[in-house]
A and B are shown apart, each in its own frame.
Chain A
Amino acid sequence: MPDISPPPLSPASVVLRLGAIAVVVVVVAGAFAYVNGMLDPTRLTPKALVDVLQVDNGVHPGFRRNHAKGVCVAGYFESTDQARAYSTAEVFSEARTPIVGRFALPTGNPYSPDTAAPIRSFAVRFTQANGEQWRTGMNAMPVFPVGTPEAFYQLLQAGSPDPATGKPNPASVPKFFAAHPEAVPFLTWVKTAKPSASYATETYNSINAFFLVDAKGERHAVRWSVVPQSTNGVSMPTTETGDFLEKDLDQKLAAAPLRWDLKFTLAEAGDPTNDATKAWPADRHTITAGTLVLQSSQPQMDGDCRDINYDPLVLPSGIQGSDDPLLAARSAAYATSYLRRTSEVDQLKTAHADQEPRP
C-alpha cells in the first residue's frame, strides 16, 4: 500500500479547502430547499390550499377539508360495449365492476345544513378485477368557476374571515369575480341553481377533461357525466331545511337500487381540455359506457368511503388525465387533506357528541 503521507497543507490551504467543502454542502442543501419551496413563501403549495380551506371553514378533525359532509354508498358498474372502442380500461370490458362512492355537499364544514350550497357532489371508486382503480370526484354543476389553482386559491382567500370582524368581507368575493370574467358561465348557471331535495336526482359531471386511450394508443378527449335514470337529470328543489339528503337517500335505497348512466362526451378539434370554466358545445357526440347501480349506503363516520382519497388522477390503464391544471392541483391538495384527516381519524368518534349542528 502506498502509505506515503502527502505533503502537509499550509493553514491557509486547509481553511480554503474546508471552505470549498462547506460551499458544496451549502449549495446542495440550498438547491434542496429551493426545490421544496422553502425559499419562496409565495409559491402555491398543497399545504397553502388546504390551509386556506381551514381558515375559511375552521378545522374539523378527521373530516375532509372540503366536501366534508357526506354519505358512503356501494354498488357496481355494469358496462355496455360503447366505450370499448375508445378505451382499453378493464372497467369497460368487464361486465361488472364493484364501486364504492360518496355523495357530499361541497362545503368545508361537516355540520353545514344541506341547503348551504346549491350543488351536490358524487365521488366514485371503481376497483377493476386486475387491481387497477379509477377514482373520480364529480359535481352537479356544468363548469368550474375558475380555471387555475392560483385563481381558486384567490377565490378561497376572498371568502376568508376578515381578522377585524371575524366574518368574510361581503365585498371580497364580488370583487374577485369582477376581476375574473372566466367565471361568467358558472355565475350565470349558479344564479338559477337551487339546493336539490335529493342526491338521487342530480347529474354529476367530471368537469375536468380526460383522455380515453384505445388499443392503438390513440387518445380521445372526453368529459363525463352520470345521469340519473329515474328523472333523467331533472332536479327537484328542496322545501326542507337542515339534514334531509342522507335520510332521503336511505329511503330511496331501501325501496330499490338507484341507477345512473355513465355518459362520455367526446371533444372535437378546438374544444378546450385545459379549461374547466368552458362548457363544450351541446351537440357533441356522447356515448353511454354503462350504468352505475347503487345498492346500499353507510354513514361516512365508519363507512367504506371514509378512508378513500378520491384523487381524480388515480386512473386505470386506458384513461389518462388531460392538461387541465386543476387536475394536478386537486390530486396534490387531496393528498395533503388525506394525511391530515387520517392522522385525526380517532377524533371522529367524539366529533358528533361535541358539536351541535350550526344553523
Chain B
Amino acid sequence: MKNPPEHFAPLARLLHWSMAFLLIAMLFIGAGMVASVSARHEWLLNLHKPLGIALLVLVILRLFVRFSTQQPPLPSDLPAIQALAAKLSHWLLYGLMLAMPLVGWAMLSAAGDPIMLTSSIRLPSILAADPHSFAFLRKAHFYLAYLLFLTVLVHLAAALFHGLIRRDGVLESMARGDQD
C-alpha cells in the first residue's frame, strides 16, 4: 500500500498558485474599479470580466483535480478545532471561488447587459433581465467579495502560522514537490 503523499500533486500546486495570483489580482481589480470614475474604471472592468470567467474555468478544473488526486493529510497532532477550521475554510473558499464568477455573470444577465469578454467575444445570458434579480445579485457580488477577501486573509495567516510557528510541513505541502 502506498503511503499518503507529503505534498500536493504538481497540477494541484500549479492551479493553487496561479489561481492565488489571479484571485488576489481580481479582488483588487474589483475594489479599485468600483471606487473610480476615471479611465481606470473602464480598463479594470474590461479586465474583470474575462479574468472572472478564466477563474471559473480554473476552479472547475481544480475541483476535478481535488477529487482525483490524493491530498496530503493534516498533521496528526493538529488540534481538532484547527483541523475543522482548515476543512471548513477550504470548502468555503471553493464555494466562493465558484459562486463569485457565476453571480457576476448572472448579475450582468439580469441587467440585460451583453456579457462581453473582449470587444467581440460575447457570452450568452444565464438569467432573464429583471431589476429585482439584478439588485439582489449585485449586492450578493459585493458581500461575497468581502467574505472571499476575508477568507483569503485567514487562509494566508493560517498558512504562515503553519510555516513559521508550527513548522509542521503544511505550508511546504503546497509550496514544494515530493522530490526535495
Chain A contact residues, CB within 8 Å of chain B: 1-3, 6, 9, 14, 17-18, 20-21, 24-25, 28-29, 31-32, 35-37, 43-46, 49, 130-133, 149, 306-309, 313-315, 317, 320-321, 323, 325, 327-329, 331-333, 338-339, 342-343, 345-346
| A133 and B134 alpha carbons, distance in the complex (Å) | 18
- Inter-subunit contact B35/A36 (CB<8 Å): yes
CB pair B122 A132 closer than 8 Å: yes
Interchain residue pairs with CB less than 8 A apart (16) = A2-B169, A20-B160, A21-B157, A21-B160, A35-B35, A36-B35, A43-B36, A306-B131, A307-B130, A314-B113, A315-B119, A323-B39, A339-B138, A342-B132, A345-B131, A345-B135
The interface residues of chain A lying within 8 Å CB-to-CB of B17 are: none
Which of B25-33, B58-66, B85-93 forms part of the interface with chain A? B25-33
A32 and B37 within 8 A (CB): no
Cβ-defined contact, A313 with B42, below 8 A? yes
Instruction: Kindly list chain A residues whose C-beta atoms are within 8 Å of the C-beta of B139.
Output: 339, 343
Verify A328–B156 contact, CB threshold 8 A: no
Q: What 0/1 readout, one digit per residue, does chain B (124-166) give for beta carbons within 8 Å of chain A? A: 1000011110110011000000000100010011001100110
Other-chain contact of B153, A1, A28, A149, A314 (Cβ < 8 Å): A28
Q: Is the CB of B131 within 8 A of A342?
A: yes
Among A31, A49, A315, A328, the most chain B Cβ lie within 10 Å of the Cβ of A328
Q: Which residue of B lies closest to A125 (CB)?
A: B112
When each residue 80-109 of chain B gets 1 if its CB lies under 8 Å from chain A and 0 otherwise, what string results? 000000000000000000000000000000
**Docked-complex contact A328 and B42, CB < 8 angstroms:** yes
Which B residues are in CB contact (< 8 Å) with A320? Answer: 119
Q: A309, B28: Cβ atoms under 8 Å?
A: no
Closest to B136 in A: A343
A307/B41 in contact, CB under 8 A: no
> Interface residue tally of chain B, by bracket?
35 or more
The answer, yes or no, to whether B177 is at the interface (CB within 8 Å) is no
**Cβ of A305 to closest chain B Cβ, rounded Å:** 11
**Interchain CB contact under 8 A, B131 and A149:** no
Interface residues of B (CB under 8 A from A): 3, 6, 24, 27-28, 31-32, 34-42, 45, 76, 111-114, 116, 119-120, 122, 124, 129-132, 134-135, 138-139, 149, 153, 156-157, 160-161, 164-165, 167, 169
**Given A130-B122, A314-B113: A9 touches B165 (CB 8 Å cut-off):** yes
Whether the Cβ atoms of A25 and B36 lie closer than 8 Å is no
Known: A20-B164, A35-B32, A130-B122. A332 touches B111 (CB 8 A): no
Residues of A within 8 A of B40 (CB): 328
On chain B, the residues within 8 Å of A321 by CB distance are: 42
- How many Å lie between the Cα of A323 and that of B39 in the bound state? 8
